[in-house]
Amino acid sequence: MTDPAAGASEGAGAVSLALVQPEDRHTREEWEAATAAVLRKTRKLTDEDPDSAVWDKLTRTTLDGIAIPPLGVPGAAQAAVRPSRVGAWDIRSLVSNPNAKLANEEALVDLDGGVTSLWVAADETTDLPTVLDGVLLDLAPVVLDAPTAASQAARALLDYADERGLDLHPDSNLGADPLGAMLRELPLAVDEAVAELRDLAMAAHAAGVRAVVVDATAAHDLGASDAQELGWSIAVGVAYLRWLTDHGLDLADAANLVEFRYAATDEQFPTIAKLRAARQLWASVLQHSGLPADVDVEQRQHAVTSRPMLSKYDPYVNMLRSTVAAFAAGVGGAESLTVLPFDAALGQPAGFGRRIARNVSHLLIDESHVAAVADPAGGAYAVEQLTTSLAEAGWAAFQQLEEEWEGGHDLSPFRDRIAVTVAERERQIARRKRPLTGLTEFPNLAEELPEREPDPLNDRVTRYGASFEALRDQPASTPVFLATLGTIAQHTARATFAANLFAAGGIPVEVAGPTSGVDELLAAYDGQRVVCLAGTDAAYEEWGAAAVEALRGAGAQHVIIAGKPDAVEAEVDDAAALGVDALAFLTATREKLS
C-alpha cells in the first residue's frame, strides 16, 4: 500500500516545505480579520460583530448535522484507513438496456472505448449470453445487478463462461443483495433470497469470484444522507457476514466475497470523506469480528455518480456534476468507478452520453493524473476531521439499525428517517439554499430536451428537485407581466432575479422594458392577470404605489413585488425576495395564473 507520507522529508516534500518562509506564515487572528473585512463589504457581518464571527458565518452544516468549517484546524481526528488502490481505478460502465442486442452493442463500444469492467443490470427476462456476446470474460470483470433474479442471472453467467471455456475475471461479482432489494421494495421472497445467498456464495467461491454487492445506493437513491448511507452499508455488510459464516465460510473468505457500492455526489469533500469513513468502519467491523491482524482483508469500493443529483432539465450541466463526483470518488480511493451518462435522468442514455461518461475517467486518470497519488486528501485537516465526524455518525446509524434488526429486518423505521432527511433537503432546495443549476437557478424555458426511451432504473430514484421538475413538466400557459420600473440598468438586478424565479416554476414572463413612469408602464401592459413589480428601492418609493394602483385599475388581479412586501406604500398580494420558499411561491402564482 502506498503511503503518501513516505519520504516527506526529502525530495518534492522538502522543496514544498522550504518554500514556506517565516514571513509567509499568518496567525488565525490575521486570517479572521482579513475574512471579516470581506464579509463586512458583503454585509454578512456588521461593524459591531467580532472578527471571530467569520467561523459561524462560513460554517455550513450537512444533513447529518455535521459542521463543515471554512478551514480545517488541527484536532483529534483519527487516522483513516488508507485505500489499497494504487494507480488507475477500474472504469466500469452500466449496461442496462432491456434490449439484449442493443445492450451488447453498448457493452462492446464501451469496452473498445477504454472501459475495463461491466455492471450489468438484469431481470428474469434478460438474455445474458446475448448481452455478453464477444466480451472477454477473463479480462473484463462482470458485476451482475439482478435484484429480483439473482440466482437465475448468476447461474446464466457461470454457465455461459463454462460454455466458452473461460474463467471469469476474479473481480467479477454475482451481485446478490437481498436487503438492498427489500429497501427498494422490489418483489422478493426474503427467505428464498437468504437461502440463495448461501448457494451463490458457494458457487462464487468455487468460481474464484465475489458473490455479494452491498449496494448503499439503495439508500442513497431514496434520499438518504451520507451517514445514513454509511450506516446502511455497514449494517447490511454485517448481516451478510453473519449469514455466510453461519453457513460454513470462515470470516476472511466471507469478507472477500463482498463488494460495496457507494454514491458519489458533486459535494466533493463529503464524498471523499464518506469513502474514507466507509473503509474505516468496515475495518473496525472486521477487527471486532475477530479477523486476525495478519490477515489482509480490505473493503472493496465501487463508486457510482449519484442518480438523484442528475436533472432532466438542462441535462448538460450533469456533465459538470458528474465530473466533480468522479474526481471525489477517485480521490476518495474507490477501486471501481461508474460515471452515469449526463442524459441518464431522461431515460436510456444515448451513445454520446455514454462516451462522455467513460471519457471523464480517462481525463481524470490520464490527463489530470488524479490516480497518481494514493489518498491525496490524507493529512488535510478538514478532510481528516470530516472523515472522523462522518465515521462517528455512520457508526451511530449502524448501531441503530442493529438494534432495530434484532427481531428481524423491519426497514420501516429506517425509511421514516430517510423521509425526514428528504423533507429537510427539499426544504433547503425550495428556499434555494441548495441551488440546482438549470432547475432552480438559471432555468431555460426555451430548451428542447433530447428524447430518450424510458429507463426503469429511474423509477427507483427520489431525484433532488423533483418538485421543480414536476412544475416544469406542465408549464404555465399564461405569462406573468414583469412591470419593470426605471431604466434597464436600474431594474435589471431584480428583474433578472424575478424572471429566473418564475422560470424555475415553468412560468414565462413578458417584460415591460425601460419605463420612466406609470403611463409607459401601462402602455406595455397587455391585461395579464398576474404582474410583478421589479425596480430599485428608490423607484418603489417614488412611484411604486402609483404603479400598483394603475395596474390594478387596468385589470391586474394579483400583484407581486420583487423585494420585501413593505417596499411600496400600497398593498401587494405577494413578494419574492432572497430566502423565499420558492416552491410555495411558484405554486401559489401558478394557481393565480390559472
Letter string b/e over residues 184-205, b meaning 16 or more CB atoms within 10 A of that residue's CB: beeebeeeebbebbbebbbbbb
Q: Give the residue carrying C-alpha cell 428528504.
A: 422
CA distance 353 to 449: 14
* Beta carbons within 8 Å of 170's beta carbon, 6+ residues apart: 141, 208, 209
pLDDT of residue 542: 93
pLDDT of residue 293: 82
What are the backbone dihedrals phi and psi of residue 318, each rounded to the nearest 5 degrees, phi first? Answer: -60, -25
- Strand 60-61 relative to strand 67-68, pairing: antiparallel
Question: Which class is 90-404 in CATH?
Answer: alpha beta
CA distance 172 to 117: 9
Contacts for 195-198: CB closer than 8 Å, 24+ residues apart: 196/150, 196/151, 197/240, 197/243, 197/244, 198/243, 198/244, 198/247
What CATH number was assigned to the domain covering residues 474-593?
Answer: 3.40.50.280
| Residue among 177, 109, 115 nearest 146 (CA) | 177
Chunked into runs of 10 residues, the chain (594 residues) has average pLDDT values of 34 41 76 93 90 92 91 70 88 96 97 97 95 96 94 95 95 95 84 82 94 97 97 97 90 95 96 96 94 88 98 96 97 97 95 96 96 89 91 96 87 96 96 93 92 90 94 94 95 95 96 94 94 95 94 95 90 92 95 92
pLDDT of residue 118: 98
Instruction: Give me the amino acid identity at 130.
Output: T
CA distance 527 to 515: 17
- Domains of the chain, residue spans: 90-404, 474-593
pLDDT of residue 179: 93
H helix or E strand, kind and range, residue 91: strand 90-95
CB atoms closer than 10 angstroms to residue 467? 17
pLDDT of residue 11: 35
Question: What are the distances in angstroms from CA 584 to CA 267, 431, 468, 483?
Answer: 26, 9, 11, 22
CA distance 196 to 172: 18
What are the backbone dihedrals phi and psi of residue 66, each rounded to the nearest 5 degrees, phi first? Answer: -90, 125
Is residue 230 a contact partner of residue 191, using CB atoms and an 8 Å limit?
Answer: no
Can you give the pTM of this predicted structure?
0.91
pLDDT of residue 349: 95
Is residue 148 a contact partner of residue 122, using CB atoms and an 8 Å limit?
Answer: no
DSSP state of 459: G
Beta bridge mates, 117? 92
